[in-house]
Amino acid sequence: MKFIPIRLKIIKPSKKREFDIYIMEKTKPVLLLDKNLPLDENSPILEYNSNFIAFIPETQLKEFKDFVSKNLDDILNDSSISKRNKMYAMYVSMINNMEALVNTRNLNLYSKVTKDVSKFIAQTINDSMTVSIMLSFIRNDSYNLAIHMFNVGVYASMLTKKLHPELSIKKMEEISKGYFLHDIGMLKIDKKIVAKRSKYTEEEYNEIKKHPEYGVKILRNELKIFSPIMEKIILEHHERKDGSGYPYGKTEINEFARICSMADIFDAITSQREYKENLPKTTFEALKEEKDFFIREFGKNRYETFIKCFYIPMK
């Protein structure tokens, strides 16, 4: 059986669980609590420190993620839970809901994702420490649409906050929803193409290029959401300043679509995709080696501000 590490401290004693909790003794998993047993208020395991890592069987991962999504509000409002553990719960929930939306293509799940985005903004907007904790959870190991949209959402939101500190929370939320869902149009593209592990054929690439327009259609016609700013982000995030982008080859591009585009490219450079000949770059390598490209495409101010987003605040 394979085991997945989890942060034990986000699990409250009174909550019903549908997953077993294990600890590792040396390298051997030992069952600590069966899923049918409540976590007793006096259990010695509650004395483990806030960073304590427990394990769950991989087969119960879905139950664990659903538990976190369901209890996210309680976790975020619990003053006994550390900031890092709260952000971990937020991360687990966001990826969980995003993956459910991407995998099932059930648009009813859209509101679960956007509710998470609102919570994400409320938690991180004025706290650079929570942003850097969130950044530390970013995974770039494999290409996965849900993880990609999450990563771009985090990068682009933090860059927006730095470039446009005057924006209200409400506006920030709306813009961030556009970032976290910028590739929602991919849900209209053949799953085989989206999941493809080798290079696209020309025909497939032409299909991929339709995702910005599909995205706007989903937003307007199916979700009945009318947000000019979200539409711009979804529609223009592949446009390039010199007109070489798609779908229209525009040269005048919306500011927030530009920010999304920068985050999108950055995530692509730092993520592994199997057909890529080169290894993915680290954050540092991507920012250093692609400096000329980023400055040429997005300007010095956006590039330098983006670098500052990765500074770790000292406390």
Candidates 6-14, 26-34, 157-165, 257-265: pick the segment binding Fe ion (CB under 5 A): 257-265
Task: Return the ∠ at Cα 229 (arms to 144 and 246), rounded to 5°.
Answer: 60
CA-based nearest residue to 101, from 212, 186, 44, 179: 186
Among residues 163, 89, 6, the alpha carbon closest in space to that of 97 is found at 89
Strand intervals (E) in the chain:
3-7, 21-25, 28-33, 53-57
CB-wise, 262 or 309, nearer to Fe ion?
A: 262
Which single residue is written with the structure tokens 């937003």?
A: 219
Question: Per CB under 5 A, which region of 95-103, 125-133, 244-252, 259-267 contacts Fe ion?
Answer: 259-267
Q: Report the nearest approach of Fe ion to the CB of residue 269 (Å).
A: 12
CA distance 14 to 12: 6
Q: Which residue's CB is nearer to Fe ion, number 89 or number 269? A: 269
- Chain-centre distance of CA 91, in angstroms? 7
In angstroms, rounded to a whole number, what is the distance separating the alpha carbons of residues 55 and 32?
9
Residues 172-201 that bind Fe ion (CB under 5 A): 183
Which range in 39-47, 102-110, 111-119, 262-270 contacts Fe ion by CB under 5 A?
262-270
Tokens of 74: 């309680």
The single residue listed with the structure tokens 């969130």 is 134
CB of 148 to Fe ion, least distance (A): 6
Q: How far is the CB of 102 from Fe ion (least distance, A)?
A: 12
Per-residue string for binding with Fe ion, 205-244, x by CB under 5 A? Answer: ----------------------------------------
**Which one of residues 173, 174, 239, 264 is an interface residue with Fe ion (CB under 5 A)?**
264
How many residues bind Fe ion (CB under 5 A)? The answer is 2
Q: Supply the minimum distance, in Å, between the C-beta of residue 171 and Fe ion.
A: 22
Residues near Fe ion (CB under 5 A) are: 183, 264
